[in-house]
Amino acid sequence: MLVIAGAGSGKTRTIVYRLAHLVRNGVAPENILLLTFTRKAAQEMQDRAELLLEGGLAGVTGGTFHAFAFSMLRRFPGALDEAGRVSIMDQGDAENALRDIKSDLGMGKGDRSFPKKSTLMGLISKSRNKELALSAVLQNEAFHMLRYEGEIEQLAKAYAVFKKRHGLYDYDDLLFGLERLLRDHEPARDFARSRFKYVMVDEFQDTNLVQARIVKLLGGKSGNVMAVGDDAQSIYAFRGANVHNILSFEQMFDGAKLIRLEQNYRSTQPILDLTNALLEQAELKIRKNLFTERKDSHKPQMVRTISDRSQAQAVVSKVLEFGRKFPLHEVAVLFRAGYQSYSLEVALNKLGIRFQKFGGIRFTEAAHIRDALSFLRLMQNPSDIPAWQRVFDHVKGVGPKTCAKIFAAVMDGDKKYLTASCKRNPQVNEVLDFLDGLRTQDQRPSPLLGRVLEFYQPILEKKFADDYPRRQSGLEQLQRIAAGYENLDGFLGDISLENPEPEKDTGKEDTLVLSTVHSAKGLEWSAVVIIDLVQDRFPSRHALQRAEDLEEERRLLYVACTRAKDRLALFVPSVIYNQYNGTSEPALESPFLSELPLSTYEAWRENYSGGLARVDGGTTRTPEAPASSVQSSTAKHSSKGAGTGPTATGNGPTQLGYCRHKIFGRGKVIATVGEGKFRINFPGFGLKVILADYLEME
């Protein structure tokens, strides 16, 4: 039986109730096998079933494919002709073994660009899980390492020999070992089929090829297998998941039943209308039509911003709007890749809006971003010793002590020491010459950063040889952010502001969620904003090259949209900044959006004057402040609902004087700038235009 559980339709509940139903109807718990992708998921399902039964579930075998494989291999030691029992290496052991083999073969000596042990292990593992040649994996996913193809293949072969010689298994070997055991060792196969008469598999869309074959071997021709999953949520091909496993389930098991769970308990019907339309255009799918009893008049909004640079402010405005209706932790901004939230992070940090980020790392924590900014920091402050240390970090022979001496010589004008250092190490001279050249350039952030990125590119490729193409995207985003500033001090000040940590007495209710879509799978929020819905970003540039990858991107967008319970907003920048020629170029909207019927969403656009206006239903403005004055309404981000600002009556200061603001603190009222708005000088923050509702007069 295959249960296609649409998003929000109660997949976990289905497995829990079937577990309880089987035991309640006389099936012995020890005859049930539950295979999952995390130990936590298996335990949660068993605990919930035990609550239904008030106990009586002891004996069910539940856990991950890998854990089950290990238990079977232990039960039948020597069945695969290994010399006695095999030992299991964890990830660290396997990587260290690969490191030692690399050293023994003399590979990568003196080559700082040679892939690290973790990268090598990842490539070898991906090759096995996808059952593809290493050359194909490199071609499709790591083209920048193709020059090492021969060495990596040699390492993979030597690693396989090493494991066999020492009786060792890594995690991937467990799956292939279990397959061989069930296929070639009749006693093991007979034991498994007689013991586990009821096999249940969770998240079947995430299985790889060998896992699907294991399930078939366990079930046999007449076995009882129930798989639960959703083909439309198969988004882990990069880990080896193969969507064709779930699509071909009925061919895999003769006479299999297909059951669709189409009632959704999470989202409103307008959101489901859009997601149904999104799936309708999929090339390969199991047809379903999600519906719900949660009727609502709010359609998803498709917001076209003027540019990717203005998108961040428009998103903040939308977040503040949603924050008036829902607690802030019930609002999430989702994106395809971690670097895409950088502009938004800067905008949130400027306003003091707390956020948590899942997937990728925060902007200012990325090593390559910090490297690039260190050059600019020295233009602003030549005595910034941490910046000196970062600009010399790539120079061989210059550690913290030597760097401190160079810094002291620069500060003291010690030409003798500097001349000697440059003669001893030409790279020192190269860095100092470059910094001198920067000082004579246009000191606006964008041109300065452009020069820095040219100089830094070969350093990036050498220092981060394993993943520099991914990091390159982050630097491009940094360049886009810099283009919005005329002043270096302002740029560095904004970019360096840290996201404030929540105080001990504050809960998560005032913390916005930022997340990649992959990290968001399985979660839900009252309101969801999805950004950068243009070609090359969502879908990614890589996905546009192959039809199957493009289809997975469609499923990824489906997963993103179905995280929303009540409100959904899709942001589409009209132009994208091109760092190479310093201009903004028209962007093509995501092909998945152009397929959607106009009836499934409200069309909005960002005006040149700031703010958003309806396109398909008149020109009524949104009630929130326009993007140009988003800074004036920041206090609302921490409120739990409408009307809970510092002064709920809406009465503002009637005379010039002093006031307090929840984020900016104490300030002086300078002038009235319109109905209900005031210009205020906040020490440390400067002049701000603030709505009267968010001010408390002294």
Question: Which of 163-177, 254-268, 410-424, 499-513 has the least mean pLDDT?
Answer: 499-513
Determine if residue 295 is labeled as part of a ligand binding site: no
86 pLDDT higher than 80: no
Of 232, 231, 202, which is closest to residue 562 (Cα–Cα)?
Answer: 232
User: Who contacts 580 (Cβ-Cβ below 8 Å, separation ≥6)?
Assistant: none
Handedness of CA 223, 225, 231, 237 (dihedral sign): negative
Among the three residues 166, 188, 204, which one is the final residue of a domain in this structure? 166
For position 156, what pLDDT does the model report?
92
Residues facing residue 2 across a β-bridge = 227, 258
Closest C-alpha to 374, from 354, 355, 395: 395
Q: Is 405 part of any known ligand binding site? A: no
Q: Please indicate, yes or no, if residue 95 is contained in any of the structural domains.
A: no
How sure is the predictor about 634, in pLDDT bands with cuts at 50, 70 and 90? very low
Tell which residue, 279, 278, 243, 286, has the closest CA to residue 548: 243
Q: Quick check: 645 pLDDT over 50? A: no
On whether both 377 and 464 belong to a single domain, the answer is yes
Is 96 a member of any domain?
no
What the block records as the tokens of 182 is 């069930």
Residue 182 has pLDDT above 90, yes or no: yes
- How big is the CA angle at 521 (ends 330 and 361), to the nearest 5 degrees? 80
Task: Give the pLDDT mean for 477-485.
Answer: 80
Same domain, 182 and 44: yes
- Are residue 602 and residue 514 in the same domain, yes or no? yes
Contact 119, 127 (CB under 8 A): no
282 found inside a domain: yes
DSSP state of 291: B
**Domain enclosing residue 396, as ranges:** 363-497
Domain count, the chain: 5
Q: Are residues 134 and 183 in the same domain?
A: no
Are residues 205 and 251 located together in one domain of the fold? Answer: yes
- Report the alpha-carbon distance of residue 330 to residue 426 in Å, rounded: 55
**Last residue of a domain, which of 455, 474, 497?**
497
Both tokens of 391, joined, read 């600009």
Rounded to the nearest 10 degrees, the angle between the axes of helix 65-75 and helix 171-184 is 60
> Greatest CA separation found in the chain?
90
Closest CA to 600 of 248, 300, 193, 231: 300
Same domain, 294 and 377: no
564 is in an annotated binding site: no
12 is in an annotated binding site: yes
User: Do 255 and 284 reside in the same domain of the chain?
Assistant: no
User: What is the pLDDT of the chain when averaged over all its residues?
Assistant: 83
- 427-463 tens-digit pLDDT: 888 888 898 888 888 888 888 888 898 899 888 888 8
Residue 69 lies inside a defined structural domain of this protein: yes
7 appears as a binding residue in the annotation: yes
**Residue 609 labeled ligand binder:** no
Q: What is the pTM (predicted TM-score) of this model?
A: 0.75
Q: Strand pairing of 612-614 and 602-606?
A: antiparallel
Torsion of CA 397, 400, 402, 408, to 10 degrees: 150
Q: Which of 468, 497, 526 is the last residue of a domain?
A: 497
Flag whether 227 is marked binding.
no
DSSP 502-558: PPTT--GGG-EEEEEHHHHTT--EEEEEE---BTBBTTBTGGGG-HHHHHHHHHHHH
| Better-scored residue on pLDDT, 372 or 577 | 372
Residue 229 annotated as binding site: no
Q: Indicate which CATH number applies to the domain containing 543.
A: 3.40.50.300
Determine contact, residues 555/500, Cβ cutoff 8 Å. no
pLDDT surpassing 50 at residue 624: no
Half-sphere exposure of 28 (CA within 13 A, CB side): 6
> For 490-537, how does the pLDDT look when each residue is reduced to its tens digit (9 = 90+)?
788 777 655 444 333 334 568 899 999 999 998 999 999 999 999 888
Average pLDDT over residues 215-236: 89
